Copies of this chain bind each other. A is one copy, B any other.
Amino acid sequence: KVLWTVLVTMLGCSSSLPVGEDALCTAEELAKYRIIFTGKWSQTAFPKQYPLYRPPAQWSSLLGVTHSSDYSMWKKNEYASNGVRDFAEKGEAWALMKEIEEAGEKIQSVHGIFSAPAISSGTGQTSTELEVHPRHPLVSFVVRIVPSPDWFVGIDSLNLCEGDHWMEEVSVDLFPYDAGTDSGFTFSSPNFATIPQDTVTEITCSSPSHPANSFYYPKLKILPPIAQVTMVKLKKSQLGLSAPFINLPAKSNEIIDTVS
């Protein structure tokens, strides 16, 4: 069956049908990955206005999706959907889950939703499994920065397929984004809707260019990564109970503590 898929896709290519970025994936049918999200939002790395109380610095649940290029969860310099706005502003996942399910229902652009538990501190880890498919090889997810007006970290449409095989492991440093829906400048800014809504923008050490901004560090060239995500392909024998997970430290912040 795998071979058949390969042949069909090759025929598709050679007869010059319209080919999207994920139509080129000829890897085996399904692949499972363990996704490990690591928060690196420490007071040492981000001393400015670091939230210590009510609530202290922490991360929301992780909400993600595996999909084709016909779906986009969020994209830099484009407007956030209502679902992404609710999630980035309040950590409320329902509207975003509905958007994803509807995209899956209407245009078959979604393979599956996945989520991982919240992390109750700025540094720590969370994890879950995800499944990709040759027609749905892209991974996107969001994690809200708590507290914050509408800030999040995430991945937009990372392709886990490399031609005829699935990537074994991939790690990505993550930096903060502003969903463009709340004009708060600092972690604990009161709710203040941005009207009209702005696009999703990356927050850097110099942008927004205002000293009041929580990530404004004029002496830095770039911010240190505020989080990191690693996806590790699971062997068939590891499905359900994955060794990469077992081998992680007993406490979610052990790695972080030794690094910082």
Binding site for B on A (CB under 8 A): 54-55, 60-61, 63, 90-95, 97-98, 101-102, 104-105, 110-113, 115-121, 124-128, 240-242, 245-246, 248, 250-252
Contacts and interface: CB of A to CB of B under 8 A. Distances in A.
Contacts of A101: 241-242, 245-246
A97 B127 CA distance: 9
A91 B116 CA distance: 12
Q: How many copies does the complex hold?
A: 2
A92 B115 contact: no
Nearest to A254: B94
Contact of A102 (B110, B118, B246): B246
18 contacts: A54-B55, A60-B118, A61-B118, A92-B120, A93-B118, A94-B119, A94-B251, A95-B250, A95-B251, A97-B127, A98-B248, A98-B250, A101-B242, A104-B241, A105-B241, A115-B115, A115-B117, A118-B118
